[in-house]
Structure 1
Amino acid sequence: MNSVQKIWENRYIIGGNSGAGSYGVLCDYKSKFINTFINDKNIKSMIEFGSGDGNQMEQFEIDNYIGLDISEYIINVCKQKYKDITNKNFITYDEYYKNSNKYDLAISLDVIYHLVEDVIYIKYMDDLFSSTNKFVIIYSTDWKEKYNGSHVYHRNFTKYIDVKFKNAKLIYHEPNKYPSLSTAEFYIYSINN
């Protein structure tokens, strides 16, 4: 188990949640933004990398949702909690790697700056961009700053994407409407095949 996985596994086991960004006004803001995009682009399927406790997912208006998280504990909690919602499912990374599906939309909300290990960050970005042939939405900070001993490492991911994923084009950027609550912003990429 890597350090990022340990942090989140332990957090969920002791009863913690996905964090302030998955609740309240920020949850509502992100859900409205994503639901508008889903409606405007006629998105039918979506995978979320870092679905956490599922609270954010409850507001998504999508035909087919897959939530993926590094915490097997919270995935099992979500599978049980949301078992009666047939169009929204949760899977572990092991289950994800057995599946070759492509989704209309892949999303990453408040995750990238928690990936403090470079090898985990690189794998995460590869998985995120290989899971879709249409769109990626990222909600994160976009500058480089590491906090020693912390579970936060801000990364300049847009530069990384420009170099690593030549088929991805940034089509929209929205500064946060609540900058006093979060420094993360929205970035939408289209995938050109």
Structure 2
Amino acid sequence: MSAFNYRSYWESHYASGGTSGAGSYGLPAEFKASTINAFLAERDVETVIEFGCGDGNQLGYMNYKRYLGFDISEEALRRCRERFGGDPSKTFHSYDPRTFVNGGAYKADLVVCLDVLYHITDEDDFRKTLDDVFGCAEKYVILYTTWKKAPSNNVTIIHRDLLDYLRAYPDFVLERIVPQPHGHLSVADFLILARSAPTSS
């Protein structure tokens, strides 16, 4: 779909001193935190896995009890380990959709993926990342992303029809969409999904 190498881009971006972007700071970060922290309290979530932990600034807002953060950038992971090195409730691991195999080793009550999916410009990596997100989720998935197909003039972004992709995960039901209140700062919304209860035979 795109000749742009998003993985090299983000590693270079962080290595040159870049951050996770405006979405992880200020009002967007506060909105994400208030929405997710309320969900954590409401559902009594104990464990969380995040795909795309970035520089860790957003994580500083979150009330996660036990947390594992994945990222494709080794520099981003280094920053997170440095920042949260004194917190044993948080761990960080490298993630590559082309080599990641779960095998049941990575499971959490909730899996989150925030401001990440529309930056995955490789179609195969995008689909594999979604597979891994849902494969790690025991109960819930929270996506914060764009979800309607639209043109983009930014080489680092692809807006897809996400609801079409989500049909591949019939065990999860879209509970609600929480719209973006700061449209001048971000076009991403929350999609909150829950694993449906098994039907009795």
Shorter-chain TM-score: what band? over 0.9
Matches of residues 65-80 of structure 1 in structure 2 within 5 Å?
A: 65-80=67-82
The alpha-carbon deviation at position 96 of structure 1 amounts to 6.5
**Deviations 1:26-72 (Å, cap 9, x if unpaired)?**
10110110000000000000011111000000111121011110101
Q: CA separation in 2, counterparts of 1:44 and 1:63?
A: 6
The alpha-carbon deviation at position 86 of structure 1 amounts to 1.1
Partner of 1:132: 137
Q: Identity rate of aligned residues, in percent?
A: 34
Partner of 1:172: 176
Matches of residues 1-193 of structure 1 in structure 2 within 5 Å?
A: 3-93=5-95, 97=101, 100-147=105-152, 150-162=155-167, 164-192=168-196
Native 8 Å contact 1:173 1:188 kept in 2: yes
**Which amino acid letter does the alignment assign opposite residue 186 of structure 1?**
F
Alignment TM-score, normalising by the size of structure 1: 0.93
Native 8 Å contact 1:70 1:92 kept in 2: yes
**Deviations 1:45-104 (Å, cap 9, x if unpaired)?**
001111100000011112101111010121122112211011111111279746713100
The alpha-carbon deviation at position 145 of structure 1 amounts to 3.0
Q: CA separation in 2, counterparts of 1:80 and 1:105?
A: 24
Corresponding pairs, count: 191
Native 8 Å contact 1:112 1:155 kept in 2: no
Q: 1:97 to 1:79 in 2, by over 3 A?
A: farther
Q: CA separation in 2, counterparts of 1:77 and 1:137?
A: 24
More helix by share: 1
Q: Structure 2: which 5+ runs fail to align?
A: none
